[in-house]
Chain A
Amino acid sequence: MSAPRPFNLIAELTYRCPLRCTYCSNPLDWAQVRDGLSADDWGRVFREAAQLGVLHVGLTGGEPSVRTDLPAIVAHAAQAELYAHLVTAGTPLDRVGLEALAEAGLRSVQLSLQDTIPDESDAVAGGTFFARKLAFAAWVRELGLPLTLNVVLQRRNLARVTDVIEMAAKLGAHRLELANVQLHGWALENRAALLPTREQLDDAAAAVHACRERHPDLEILFVLPDWFAGRPKPCMGGWGRSHAVVAPDGSVLPCHGARALPLEFWSIRDRSFAECWGDAPGMNAYRGEDWMPDPCRSCDERTRDFGGCRCQAFALTGDAANTDPACSLAPHHDVLVAARNAAGAEPTEAVHREVR
């Protein structure tokens, strides 16, 4: 089959990060994956991706600004005419560094925030970062760059959703992603500590609804998480369909977590981006609809949710080709319900991301 056109490149420049968030979706063995691509290598990836039709590049990680060659990487993205978007925790990048990125052609910034209460935010991040993040948000706006604020919602901060929205408005964000915690990587390990209750989610949804009118200029994203919605999420807009992830070691993946699956992906260190995207066996494993089992294959939702998340199917059922257990129609839905009930029954303390 001919590969679909990728529109969005997610460039994971490194898995290193000064933060140790309990909800991190990086792989558990992140420390074993080295930064295998130089700035010039990234430049080649950007040019080849642009030729294939990519418009946006998200520079992410880990924390991308731990790379001292980040300005050169941004310049490569701009030269390839990609819309360069930085996904950052706001540290260690300082104001001068941010200015250098803007000069190199950075277009927009997404900043993570863990909570509105400084101690709570720092407790999730595993260090003292909160005050720095607020300063960073102000620098972004001073430089005239559009600011997206991303707040991962979980059991400990869901009650403060209104405060989060007010803070986003005050910081001048144009978009707020209220990202209900996705249970991948470290977050899956910590699910008993992170998983909210249904009641918390309903309250949060009502609070978001009430706030939307007050802030018509702030785009607020809030989606009921798949563990509670009974419907799978349209993960990455479909496997290998519009989003390409390039991991720190050069592997081209359909999503952040796919390296954990028993599939063969290719690296741009060995091949062109077009080959890695279009021809790697792993990329083609779940493209389109031919791979779908029942009930997906005959379901009207398949063109909207694309069968949900393969990594979740693998993590919970041991087979990535199974219907995503988040779906209430899935044969393994009871596995997810049991995991949800178990997590809800005995909340535990989350462990911070560490070297394993």
Chain B
Amino acid sequence: MSAQLEARLRQVLAERYHDKHPFNVRMHEGTLSREEIQTWVRNRYYYQTRIPLKDSVILTKSGDPAFRREWVQRIHDHDGVAPGEGGLERWLDLAEVVGLERAEVESLAGVLPGVRAACDDYVRLVEERELLEAVASSLTEIGAAEIMKVRLVAFEKHYPWVGERGLAYFRGRVEQAPRDAGWGLAWVLSHARSAEDADRCVAALEKKCEILWRLLDAVEYAHRTPRLSKAAQRRPDPQDGRATVVLPERAVRLNASGEEILDLCDGDHTADAIGRELGGRHPEIAGVVPDVHAFLADMERLGVLESSPSAKSQAPEASEERAT
């Protein structure tokens, strides 16, 4: 039973862990731009801030002092046991090293809406599911040590400007992740008693992999260069002059902000640059950057905009389907 479950969980990771996401693949190949690394660091910080929150939720679900003694260690790892210590501080070091303002990253103001939604889904998953599933969802840590090692080599080789101070977080995780993952896996295997338990653990881990994948989808999108889709006709409305985009079967009317954003969708500006440009033009409005990204995603879904399909991220199942 437990050997079978372990094999299934490892299979999930082999197929769906985010080490295969195109963005991580490019990171490890050394082809990310400095701006792309900055976007990743700024947004991944939001994920880091959610980790102690979800671990705190997990603590509330266990009546077992031994479990809590073990699990509370994860919160110490992230928050430190004194000011200036811990994984969150090390991540902010990384942020500074890649050229971001520590305070800006810490404020979470520039976090992309897709990243926020994915990370919030993780906390919600842990809140809503039983302890067993919550712990199972943390087992992406099984893959974490390996990805950290690959990343350290890649950064030293391809992004030497990041320097040793920026790599401290990754080095720490190389030690922590296998310990946590080993303990978590053993606990899951000994507590999943029925076939239904096993199915729920597998489903929770799949969900967690999907969340990590979505996070990178959103980060990657920030560097795509949207442009008016070939099928779209942009024109003033014949009656009131409002900017309108006509598509097969539908028409989309734009307000002034929408028009301002679409003006920058020239296939040259990245989504990230468009957000920043608009943020700079309207400093009085809070949350411009996330709003711009949400708008761009909506417009792409409606077919108003398109961005280079070559950079389009494929979900793992889809890429597998393609291979067969």
Which residues 211-240 of B have a CB within 8 angstroms of A? 230-231, 233, 235, 237-239
User: Which positions 144-177 of chain A face chain B at CB distance < 8 Å?
Assistant: 144-146, 148, 174-175
A112 and B167 CA atoms in complex are apart in Å by 59
In the assembled complex, how far is the CB of residue A292 from the closest CB belonging to chain B, in whole angstroms? 28
Known A107-B231, A108-B231, A144-B230; judge A53-B248 contact (CB<8 A): no
Task: Report the separation of the CA atoms of residues A78 and B247 in the bound assembly, to the nearest whole angstrom.
Answer: 14
CB of A56 closer than 8 Å to a CB of B: yes
Partner of B249, one of A54, A144, A175: A175
- In whole angstroms, how far apart are the Cα atoms of A108 and B303 in the complex? 13
Q: Which residues of A contact B303 (CB under 8 A)?
A: 174
Whether A148 pairs with B249 at a CB distance below 8 angstroms is yes
- Determine the chain A residues whose CB is within 8 A of the CB of B235 once the complex forms: 81
Taking A7-B251, A83-B246, A174-B248 as contacts, is the C-beta distance between A53 and B239 under 8 angstroms?
yes
Say if the beta carbon of B244 comes within 8 Å of chain A: yes
Contact in complex: A81, B238 (CB < 8 Å): yes
Chain A CB within 10 A, most for which of B233, B237, B247, B251:
B233
Give the one of B230, B244, B248, B251 with max A CB within 10 A: B248
Q: Tell whether A85 pairs with B239 under 8 Å between CB atoms, given A107-B231, A107-B233, A144-B230.
A: no
Chain A 98-112 interface 0/1 with B at a Cβ cutoff of 8 Å (1 = within): 000000000110000
Q: Which B residue sits closest to A109, measured CB to CB?
A: B248
Q: Among residues 21 to 64 in chain A, which have CB atoms less than 8 Å away from a CB atom of chain B?
A: 50-56
- For A222-244 the 0/1 string (1 means CB < 8 A from B) is 00000000000000000000000
- C-alpha gap A242/B34 in the complex (Å): 51
A175 touches B248 (CB 8 A): yes
Smallest Cβ distance from B141 to chain A, in angstroms?
A: 30
Partner pick for A56 among B230, B231, B239, B246, CB 8 A cutoff: B246
Asked if A85 and B248 sit within 8 Å, CB to CB, the answer is: yes
Chain B residues near A108 (CB, 8 Å)?
231, 248
Known: A81-B238, A107-B231, A144-B230. A55 touches B244 (CB 8 A): yes
Shortest A234–chain B CB gap in Å is 15
- In the assembled complex, 14 residue pairs joining A and B whose CB atoms fall closer than 8 Å, in A order, are A52-B238, A53-B238, A55-B238, A55-B244, A56-B246, A56-B251, A81-B233, A83-B233, A83-B246, A107-B248, A146-B231, A146-B248, A174-B248, A175-B248
Residues of A within 8 A of B (CB): 5, 7, 50-56, 81, 83, 85, 107-108, 144-146, 148, 174-175
A-contacting residues of B (Cβ < 8 Å)?
A: 230-231, 233, 235, 237-239, 244, 246-249, 251, 303
| 18 new A-B contacts at CB < 8 Å, known A81-B233, A107-B248 | A51-B238, A52-B238, A53-B238, A53-B239, A55-B238, A55-B251, A56-B246, A81-B235, A83-B233, A83-B247, A85-B248, A108-B231, A108-B248, A144-B230, A146-B248, A148-B249, A174-B231, A174-B248
Which A-B residue pairs are the 9 nearest by beta carbons?
A: A108-B248, A83-B246, A146-B231, A53-B239, A146-B248, A55-B246, A55-B251, A83-B233, A53-B238
